[in-house]
């Protein structure tokens, strides 16, 4: 090896030793804590379904209802449905699918189990197989004051016009309300009992607007027009 190479190696070995020693000393010196950085900006988490809404869906599933949860919505004129479901089929056959709040759907389920079926078995020795209604969600005002939104405009009301039994017997509010026999008893007793499950119940005894159907809702007002 040439003398030049030997001198270079000696030179850099001295520099390397100095650098290593400096590094060791520096590592022993306590450094000031680093200034914490601002947390990264992240979008807020998506709003999850409320526990009550999820529990309501679980209750509907347990009784075998065929439904689909829907996304809550509102319209510029104040209508809309919050925590709603689209009912395809209840414990009974529905005359058509309908959009209601989950709370209303569960009240209807109780109405079927606790009132309609026991009455049908008592008075007719038959079961109810079909519930006929003329709609739930409808963005409109109440009949006698269009400036005030109906509970239908919130999906919190449904209008029932009658039922059909397993033997084909049809019971209709419009034609059978005043009946002195079992059909009339069925309708009148069902309407009175409904007041324990719904906030507002309106039938033929309430006014002429409800001479042909039962209005059942779970809104904030309370009235039993049975």
This prediction's pTM? 0.75
Rounded mean pLDDT of 206-221? 94
More reliable by pLDDT, 17 or 191? 191
Give the model confidence (pLDDT) of 40-82 as tens digits.
344 444 445 689 999 999 999 988 888 999 999 999 989 999 9
Q: Give residue 162's domain range.
A: 51-225
Domain assignment present for 31:
no
Domain assignment present for 25:
no
Rounded mean pLDDT of 103-132? 95
Domain assignment present for 174:
yes
Predicted pLDDT at 27: 42
For every residue of the chain, DSSP letters joined together read --HHHHHHHHHHHHHHHHHHHHHHHHHHSPPPPPPPPPPPP-PPPPPPPPHHHHHHHHHHHHTT-EEEE---EE-TTS-EESSEEEEEE-SSEESS-EEEEHHHHHHHHHIIIIIIHHHHHHHHSS-EEEEEE--S----EETTEEEEEPGGGGT-EEEEEEEEETTS-EEEHHHHTT-SSHHHHHHHHHHHHHTTT-SEEE-TTT-GGGTT-EEEE-SS--EEE-
Predicted pLDDT at 75: 94
Domain assignment present for 12:
no
Predicted pLDDT at 145: 67
Number of domains in the chain: 1
Q: Is the pLDDT of residue 162 over 80?
A: yes
The most confident of 2-6, 199-203, 204-208, by mean pLDDT: 199-203
Predicted pLDDT at 48: 59
């Amino acid at each position: 090896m040439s003398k030049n190479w030997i001198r270079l190696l000696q030179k850099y070995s001295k520099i390397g030793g100095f650098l290593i020693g400096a590094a060791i000393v520096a590592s022993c010196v306590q450094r000031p804590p680093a200034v914490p950085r601002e947390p990264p900006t992240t979008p807020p988490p998506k709003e999850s379904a409320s526990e009550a809404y999820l529990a309501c869906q679980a209750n509907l599933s347990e009784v075998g209802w065929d439904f689909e949860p829907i996304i809550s919505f509102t319209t510029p004129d104040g209508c809309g449905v919050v925590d709603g479901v689209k009912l395809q089929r209840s414990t009974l056959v529905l005359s058509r699918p309908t959009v209601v709040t989950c709370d209303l759907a569960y009240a209807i389920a109780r109405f079927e189990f606790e009132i309609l079926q026991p009455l049908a078995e008592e008075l007719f020795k038959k079961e109810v197989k079909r519930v006929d209604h003329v709609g739930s969600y409808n963005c409109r005002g109440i009949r006698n004051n269009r400036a005030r939104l109906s509970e239908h405009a919130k999906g919190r009301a449904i209008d029932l016009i009658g039922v059909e039994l397993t033997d084909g017997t049809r019971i209709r509010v419009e034609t059978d309300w005043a009946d002195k026999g079992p059909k009339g008893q069925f309708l009148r007793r069902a309407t009175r009992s409904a007041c324990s499950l719904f906030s507002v119940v309106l039938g033929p005894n309430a006014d002429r607007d409800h001479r042909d159907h039962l209005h059942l809702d779970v809104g904030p007002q309370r009235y039993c027009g049975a």
